[in-house]
């Protein structure tokens, strides 16, 4: 390729770049690989390490470029044909890795975790190797697993998913990684369903057999989310978008009703007066009844897998005390309660109102659990919860717990911390803060809770260095 063909124009904007030939290097956090063009870093999506590709520059920054591989000249043996026709450059931005064989996806994520530990946690290559980190497959396969989907709605009222780093809605026919009960709903454009009064459609197919659909109006379509979907504003519950249910699906000609079970009949999850809609989730030997907007893991096997990992790593003892920070609806608190017994004490801290209400309702039979509605940082800083405490579970949002929370936990005279993380970079930064406070990363497990995407879930055990 000539020098003229390889030149870049500084004014080139996203989607208007020229094409260049690249030899693709290692994977990096964010669902892309790293290449270099005349010494400048290029983050390339839809590629694999070792490939030679023609890439289209999608964004020009002073320090780096972004690009999509649009033609593969020399393919990796790990490359496959994406199972979804909407996956690829300038299409749906939800699934970053559909071009990668499932086993290679897990190797990709494993290497991302290891690289973050070296770069951000400050671990040596020998320390990373000693952890023997690997990302494990969950049951169910790489497709048809996602139990919660948020669709964005375009100006024509069509529901779909967003392009990568864009507000543009792609009106897909159906989402291949969504649960079959979601795929069958007449929500998307092929069904003829439009959403003129909504800019976001939230769909849930719970492990208890309930299906709900809500259209809602927000302040605007926002980028983000695991599936390229619109992000949810921090306040306000979903509103009725005019979709009812019939035989487990949505009847677009009727108003909204309560959740349905697998046979189409009403469940006892809905309140008799129609208020307080609930969906059922089944985990750790309990049936949970939650508002559809309350957080719950989107992979059907995730709740059991993560709870089992936390218990295995912490090894709770009868009569111990524990904090469940960012505790949500109380999954980990319930799992811990069974181990610490009636003489134990668990404090769950959560700030989101739907989750707090769900925790109080679903854990009412466990008197050893106290639910505190508060943000974790202020709760620790203002001593709404105080140590010493035996065990801590940290399950923060994607941004991580942060230095303030980590330092407070490290100072709480606890014997062990289980850290559940959905972002390896944020986790690595917090792990470094733990290490600076005199703690060590004793164990780390990875789980492929989000096949076909770049995302990975981690469960870590952190111990005082002297233990």
Tell me: the pLDDT tens digits for 253-277? 222 333 333 333 333 333 332 346 8
- Written as six digits, the tokens of 175 are 């989402």
233 pLDDT band, cuts 50/70/90, is very low
Nearest-angstrom CA–CA distance, 338 and 329: 16
Which member of 92, 95, 175, 422 is catalytic? 422
467 pLDDT band, cuts 50/70/90, is confident
Residue 33 designated active-site:
no
Closest CA to 292 of 326, 269, 315: 269
Q: Are 307 and 335 in contact (CB under 8 A)?
A: yes
pTM greater than the 0.95 cutoff: no
Lowest-confidence range among 14-28, 256-270, 333-347, 413-427? 256-270
219 pLDDT band, cuts 50/70/90, is low
Is the pLDDT reported for residue 398 higher than 70? yes
Instruction: Find the mean pLDDT for residues 16-25.
Output: 87
What lies within 8 Å, CB to CB, of 139 at 6+ separation is: 301
Mean pLDDT estimate for the chain = 87
Instruction: Find the mean pLDDT for residues 33-39.
Output: 95
Is the pLDDT reported for residue 52 higher than 50? yes
Instruction: Find the mean pLDDT for residues 393-411.
Output: 97
């Amino acid at each position: 390729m000539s020098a003229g063909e390889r030149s870049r124009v500084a004014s080139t904007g996203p989607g208007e770049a020229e094409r260049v030939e690249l030899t693709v290097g290692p994977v990096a956090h964010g669902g892309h690989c790293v290449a270099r063009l005349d010494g400048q870093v290029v983050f390339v999506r839809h590629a694999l390490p070792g490939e030679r590709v023609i890439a289209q520059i999608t964004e020009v920054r002073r320090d780096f470029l972004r690009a999509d591989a649009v033609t593969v000249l020399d393919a990796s043996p790990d490359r496959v044909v994406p199972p979804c026709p909407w996956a690829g450059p300038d299409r749906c931005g939800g699934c970053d890795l559909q071009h990668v064989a499932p086993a290679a996806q897990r190797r990709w994520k494993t290497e991302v975790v290891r690289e973050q530990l070296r770069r951000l946690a400050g671990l040596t290559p020998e320390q990373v190797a000693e952890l023997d980190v690997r990302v494990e497959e969950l049951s169910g396969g790489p497709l048809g697993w996602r139990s919660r989907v948020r669709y964005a709605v375009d100006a024509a009222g069509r529901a779909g998913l967003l392009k990568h780093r864009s507000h543009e809605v792609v009106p897909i026919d159906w989402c291949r990684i969504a649960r079959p009960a979601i795929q069958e709903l007449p929500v998307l454009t092929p069904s003829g369903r439009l959403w003129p009064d909504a800019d976001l459609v939230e769909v849930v197919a719970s492990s208890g057999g309930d299906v709900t659909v809500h259209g809602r109006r927000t302040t605007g379509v926002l980028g983000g989310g695991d599936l390229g979907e619109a992000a949810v504003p921090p306040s306000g519950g979903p509103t009725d978008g005019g979709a009812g249910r019939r035989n487990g699906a949505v009847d677009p000609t009727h108003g909204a009703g309560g959740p349905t079970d697998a046979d189409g009949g009403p469940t006892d999850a809905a309140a008799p007066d129609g208020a307080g809609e609930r969906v059922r989730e089944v985990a750790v030997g309990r049936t949970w009844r939650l508002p559809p907007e309350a957080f719950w893991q989107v992979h059907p096997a995730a709740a059991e897998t993560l709870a089992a990992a936390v218990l295995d790593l912490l090894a709770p003892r009868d009569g111990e005390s524990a904090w469940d920070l960012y505790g949500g609806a109380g999954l980990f608190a319930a799992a811990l309660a069974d181990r610490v017994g009636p003489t134990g004490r668990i404090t769950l801290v959560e700030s989101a109102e739907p989750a707090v209400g769900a925790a109080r309702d679903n854990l009412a039979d466990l008197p050893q659990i106290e639910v505190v509605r508060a943000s974790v940082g202020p709760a620790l800083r203002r001593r709404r919860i105080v140590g010493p405490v035996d065990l801590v579970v940290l399950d923060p949002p994607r941004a991580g717990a942060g230095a303030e929370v980590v330092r407070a936990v490290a100072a709480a005279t606890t014997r062990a911390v289980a850290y559940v993380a959905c972002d390896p970079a944020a986790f690595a930064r917090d792990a470094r803060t733990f290490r600076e406070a005199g703690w060590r990363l004793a164990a780390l497990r990875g789980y492929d809770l989000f096949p076909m995407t770049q995302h990975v879930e981690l469960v870590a055990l952190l111990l005082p260095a002297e233990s």
